Amino acid sequence: MKRTISVSIAATALIGLVGLTACPGGGATGTSGKLIPEQATIMVGIDVGGLMKTKLYTDNKAEFEKQSEYKEMADAAKACNLDPEKALSSVLIGTDGKANVVAVLKGEGLGVEANLTCIAEKGKEKNGGKVPFTIADEGGKKILKMEGDKGTGYIVDATTLVFASAAWTGAVKDLIDGKGKPAIDGPNKDLFARADQSKHIWAAGLVPAELAGGAKSVGAEPKDMSGSLDLSDGIAIKLAVGLASADQAKELKKKADDAMPGAKLGAAMVGLPAKAVETIKVDTKDNQITLEASLTNDDIKTLKEKAGAFLGGLGGGMGGGGGMDAPPPMPVEPIAPPPSAAPAEAAPTPAP
């Protein structure tokens, strides 16, 4: 996975340029999906613009903006004619779960060469005096050559960039030219379509062998998965895992049902509202085991308050009876809004 990680960093490096985000468009059914090669067995979509319109984001935006990194990246974006809240609207990632990956990034002005050149210059300050990428002409296409072995980027149009690992560059170039077959029309198209691509974050694909092997301890052989995360009102998750047989799905559900009382007790101990616990639903459909759960914004607020009170109580207890002042309560950070983009040296784009 080392190459996968390096290319993911390359993709976000460019945005480490901008470092910020915000228009829906994470679905594979749009133009982004036509740029992921059919060899992809896993796809992940992120509607960055939609995330930035959620209450969860807006309620915590002020805290996010207090971070020095945010201001630094926002200033860099503005200096390069990029609106910090529109520079990245969606991300779509396709991978084979091994060494190959493609990331399609869309945003206002993101594919404008002058903006990218400016970003590269700004990136020098965070890259030891070296530009993180250069722009060149290759075969009639404008490409971004990443510093080091970090993949290749393609300027598709003024709002679209595509990054690809070495083995998939040929397939990506064909797709840009309208040739070849994209993943949404490939052998896994039905699996990708199983995920609700209208949600803020979604993922679908075949389960990598190394992950499937780890599930054998609970008597399961996962073959594929699909799921989504909706942040319209708090957090709502839906997940479906396809197993080797319907019997495996039923057996796994039985284990989940048996463990549910203990899980509910544990949830109550950490302050999770009872009505939130009741949203947890485990079911089966043919060979799939499904999970649904949700927290409203009020539930999240309650959790934060109870966690703060609990940690504050621990602090007071530590200072009792010994003549020592109690340490201040540990700060409880609000749930961070989705980062618009990571700096070049930051962690890679999320994977399913």
User: pLDDT class for 158, splitting at 50, 70, 90?
Assistant: very high
Find out whether 220 and 243 touch, Cβ atoms under 8 Å.
yes
pLDDT at 326: 37
Which H helix or E strand runs over 14?
Answer: helix 2-18
Please list, in sequence order, all residues whose beta carbon lies within 8 angstroms of the beta carbon of residue 58, skipping any fewer than 6 positions away. none
Residue 169 lies in a domain: yes
Average confidence score pLDDT of the chain: 80
Identity of the amino acid at 84: P
Token output for 84: 């910090």
pLDDT band at 307 (very low <50, low <70, confident <90, very high): low
pLDDT at residue 342 in the model: 36
Whether 334 is covered by a domain: the verdict is no
Instruction: Out of 106-115, 227-236, 263-272, pick the least confident.
Output: 263-272
- CA dist 138 and 116 (Å) reads 17
pLDDT digits (tens, 9 = 90+) for 71-80: 888 888 899 9
**Beta carbons of 223 and 212 less than 8 angstroms apart:** yes
**pLDDT tens digit string along 80-133?**
999 988 999 999 999 999 889 999 999 999 999 999 999 988 888 777 888 888
Question: How much of the chain is in helix, strand and coil states, percent to nearest 5?
Answer: 40, 20, 40
Provide the percentage of residues in the chain whose pLDDT is more than 90.
48
The reply to whether 37 falls in a domain is yes
Query: Is the pLDDT at 149 greater than 90, yes or no?
Result: no
Q: Is the pLDDT of residue 147 over 80?
A: no
pLDDT score, position 329: 34
pLDDT at 25 over 90: no
> Measured in Å, how far apart are the chain's first and last C-alpha atoms?
13
| Nearest residue to 84 via CA among 57, 103, 63, 65 | 65
In a domain, 180, yes or no: yes
Domain count for the chain: 1
Q: In which domain, by residue range, is 128 found?
A: 2-185
Q: Identify whether 296 is part of a domain.
A: no
Which residue would you say has higher pLDDT here, 104 or 31? Answer: 104
Residue-level pLDDT at 186: 95
- Is the pLDDT score of 42 beyond 90? yes
Q: What is the mean pLDDT of residues 144-173?
A: 89
- Interatomic CA distance for residues 127 and 125, integer angstroms: 6
Q: In residues, how long is the chain?
A: 352
Residue 170 is predicted with a pLDDT of 92
When pLDDT is averaged across residues 217-239 and rounded to a whole number, the result is 92
Is-contact 91 105, C-beta < 8 A?
yes
- What pLDDT does residue 352 have? 38
**Residue 124 pLDDT:** 82
Span 154-180, average pLDDT: 94
Whether 25 is covered by a domain: the verdict is yes
Domain assignment present for 309: no
Given pLDDT bands bounded at 50, 70 and 90, which one contains residue 37? Answer: very high
- 166: closest CA among 216, 100, 242, 251? 100
Average pLDDT over residues 235-260: 94
227 lies in a domain?
no
Cα distances (Å, whole numbers) of residue 89 to 54, 250, 299? 14, 40, 28
Element (DSSP H or E) covering residue 21 = none
